[in-house]
Amino acid sequence: AQRVTQPEKLLSVFKGAPVELKCNYSYSGSPELFWYVQYSRQRLQLLLRHISRESIKGFTADLNKGETSFHLKKPFAQEEDSAMYYCALSTQTGANNLFFGTGTRLTVIP
């Protein structure tokens, strides 16, 4: 069975400080990993996916198969980064059935 764990429900950092949101997964196959974000009063939206290896809004995430992790990082947090972040896993490349973690609420303190 697959599982996504986000150990921090809440995370607060000061503006300009580095931020790392942790995500660990368990799955016996080769998963596809995603980060979704929900800003205040907005819909859940895709932030980035590991296969694209892009940097979106300054965020990056590297899939570490050895540690089964997909941590989200940004070197300098901005106030507009305050949001709810969800790590998600898909068990097949090209599948839409996402398995989500419980989410981390990031607050960037001005």
Partner 1 sequence: DAGVTQSPTHLIKTRGQQVTLRCSPKSGHDTVSWYQQALGQGPQFIFQYYEEEERQRGNFPDRFSGHQFPNYSSELNVNALLLGDSALYLCASSPLPGGNEQFFGPGTRLTVL
List the one residue out of 38, 47, 33, 48 whose CA is nearest residue 3.
Answer: 33
CB of 82 to partner 1, least distance (A): 18
102 near partner 1, judged by CB under 8 A: yes
Nearer to partner 1, 70 or 86 (CB): 86
CB of 76 to partner 1, least distance (A): 26
Name which of residues 69 to 98 contact partner 1 (CB under 8 A): 86, 88, 92-98
> Rounded to an integer, what distance in angstroms lies between the CA atom of residue 12 and that of residue 106?
6
Q: Is the separation of the CB atoms in 9 and 102 below 8 Å?
A: yes
17 near partner 1, judged by CB under 8 A: no
Structure token pair of residue 103: 């989410």
Non-local CB neighbours of 30 within 8 Å, separated by 6+ positions: 93
5 CB burial (10 A radius; 0-12, 13-18, 19+): middle
User: Residue count at the site for partner 1 (CB under 8 A)?
Assistant: 20
Q: Which listed range, 11-19, 43-51, 57-65, 71-79, lies at the site for partner 1 (CB under 8 A)?
A: 43-51
56 near partner 1, judged by CB under 8 A: no
Residues that bind partner 1 (CB under 8 A): 4, 43-46, 49, 86, 88, 92-103
